[in-house]
Amino acid sequence: MEQKNILKSILQAVLYISTFIIIQTTFQLLSILIYSFLKGISFSVIAAGLSNGKFSEVLIISNLLFSIAAILLFVKLKWAPISRTYLQSKPWGVFFWAAMLSIGFILPAEFIYERIQLEMSDNMVELFSGIMKQPLGYLILGILAPITEEIVFRGALLRVLLETFGHQKRWIAIVISALIFAVIHGNVAQGTHAFIGGIALGWLYMRTRSVLPGIV
């Protein structure tokens, strides 16, 4: 790898992750401000409540807006190129096995987490429970979040890393993208799950060069 290519790859990766974080933070702050104004609750109370698993509706609003904005931006700027070519090849078998991989990943992962006593905090559990009780909860966690993550972390970040490291060192690119994906989640329980999942999803992207199997 040329030093110039490595530097370019690092700068692109930093740009993608920084943009992801900035968009997410911006919409979260805006959602808190709007909710604070409408409900007459102070900004600090809502912000503190979010860390304690409360005000899940604020996260739903912010994640909805953030996901849409991130998807549109990354696709519009061609940071994550989207093409119909892969879908036109009718990869139904790949989609089927991708779904089976996802389902088959659940039980082994749960067994490992139980053995090492890795659990989400009560606040996080309460927060996710609150989100799933909302009408848009399943849309956010089940559809928009996976699409956003695939476009940003596989379609943009991993794509650049694979181009830089090449085929022989493709696993280095996959591991790096999975590590970044894990760190972004912000806690050990989710981060561990994200790292293992990031390896599998990275492998899928490397084989297909499409984010669609990972979204499935």
The tens digit of pLDDT for each residue in 94-131 reads 777 777 766 666 666 666 666 655 666 677 777 777 77
Helix/strand/coil percentages in the chain, nearest 5: 80, 0, 20
Alpha helical stretches, state H, 43-117: 43-51, 56-76, 85-88, 92-115
Radius of gyration of the chain (CA): 18
What is the pLDDT of the chain when averaged over all its residues?
84
Does the pLDDT value for residue 91 go beyond 80? no
Q: Say which residue the tokens 């089927």 belong to.
A: 96
The one-letter code for the residue type at 211 is V
103: number of Cβ within 10 Å: 9
Residue 90 DSSP class:
-
Q: How far apart are CA 39 and CA 214, in angstroms?
A: 39
pLDDT, tens digit, for every residue of 131-178? 777 778 888 888 898 899 999 999 999 999 998 888 888 999 999 999
For residue 186, the model assigns a pLDDT of 78
